[in-house]
Amino acid sequence: MKKVLLTLFMTLSALALMAQEDVPVVPDYMDYEDYDEMQLFEVDNAVDFIKALGSNRQITIAENITINLSNVLGSETLFYEDNRRRTYDIDQLVTDGETIVSEEVEEGEYQLVLMNVERLYIIGKTGSGIEVDSRHANLFTLKNCLDINFENLNLGHSESKGLEKCYGSVINMENCNMVYFNHCGFFGPGLYAISALNSDDIIMSNSIVSECSDGIIDLNYCHRSVFTNCDFYDNGGGVWSYLTTDTKFRDCHFFRNGGCLFYIDRKTMVDNCEFWHPVADRCNVNLLSFDELDYIMNDERGEDVEFRDLGPR
């Protein structure tokens, strides 16, 4: 119990520090008394990556390696461990324990699902990434997960990049808490970088989202999501949220996006952000909450906006 309370205290402390610039999202477990309880892995291929997934683990992806999940997820031989399952419908799979699932979403197309996983850190070295070929798959689907961290990674759909619309998001989550993204690059054309349902404390910092076909993020019944120092550009739409509270954007740039900029039904906090978007397509921007000097709204798409040094390092 003492160790559980310590972990909870340190995680909440990290959330409180998020307002400070350049504060890492991923806690440094080297300073924790229970660091030795985490299993550490370094991988350079999809088979070893899938095998390493689980609770209380830190997985580091080797330098200049992009892990493509599609072949392993589609193979009964390669996708096999004690807590690995295969299904055609994740909603019909009943499990209370930690489970890693390969779900067939279309004939021959599979997506990775993590269920009941806690305290998993996926960290990339320089030039690292994770991708999936299927247009119908989410790259990661998280269900009932707690304290999941993505650090310094390119994340997205590979085969359909720049071609046709995808029907899965990069990250899809349901009933999750404390999911962090730091120095990540999300690329489309998945539906959204993040689509979330009944999930709290989603934190993104120092990251970029581009070329997602429907929009940047889609939040439903979520609470306390914070996006700090991020660039959102070349997406088919903007921010969508429904019955979602305590969402905040800080030091973010929105430019060269299509469609509706903010399709929201609750107040959303904006702090020191800049937007380039035509007036006619701003939609529910009146629900943004900000001080007069905390944002700049430009009536143009921002074709000449300079890219900031964000995303994977």
pLDDT tens track, the chain, 313 positions? 444 444 444 444 444 444 444 433 444 433 444 556 899 999 999 999 999 999 999 999 999 999 999 999 999 888 876 667 878 777 777 777 899 999 999 888 899 999 999 999 999 999 999 999 888 899 999 999 999 999 999 999 986 444 467 789 999 999 999 999 999 999 977 899 999 999 999 999 999 999 999 999 999 999 999 999 999 999 999 999 999 999 999 999 999 999 999 999 999 999 999 999 988 888 888 788 876 556 778 888 899 999 999 999 9
308 part of a folded domain: no
pLDDT computed for residue 52 by the predictor: 95
> By three-state DSSP, how is residue 85 classified?
strand
pLDDT computed for residue 108 by the predictor: 87
Closest CA to 217 of 110, 197, 310, 206: 197
Q: Which two tokens stand for residue 245?
A: 């509270």
pLDDT computed for residue 203 by the predictor: 98
User: Whole-angstrom Cα distance, residue 68 to residue 61?
Assistant: 12
Q: What is the separation of C-alpha 45 from the centre of its chain, rounded to a whole number of angstroms? A: 21
User: Whole-angstrom Cα distance, residue 99 to residue 118?
Assistant: 11
286 part of a folded domain: yes
Which pTM does this prediction carry? 0.86
22 part of a folded domain: no
User: Whole-angstrom Cα distance, residue 189 to residue 264?
Assistant: 22
24 CB burial (10 A radius; 0-12, 13-18, 19+): middle
25 part of a folded domain: no
Pairing label, strands 154-157, 109-115: unpaired
9 part of a folded domain: no
Residue-number span of the structural domain to which 71 is assigned: 37-298
Count of domains for the chain? 1
Residue at token pair 């683990």: 57
User: For the domain that residue 127 is a member of, what is the CATH number?
Assistant: 2.160.20
132 part of a folded domain: yes
Q: How many CB atoms lie within 10 A of CB 271?
A: 16
Positive/negative CA dihedral, 71, 73, 74, 76 = positive
DSSP character at residue 107: T
Positive/negative CA dihedral, 254, 258, 262, 264 = negative
Q: Which two tokens stand for residue 93?
A: 């799979």
Q: What is the separation of C-alpha 191 from the centre of its chain, rounded to a whole number of angstroms? A: 13
Q: How many CB atoms lie within 10 A of CB 252?
A: 24
27 part of a folded domain: no
Q: How many CB atoms lie within 10 A of CB 65?
A: 17
Rounded to the nearest 5°, which phi and psi values hold at 268?
Answer: -125, 130
97 part of a folded domain: yes
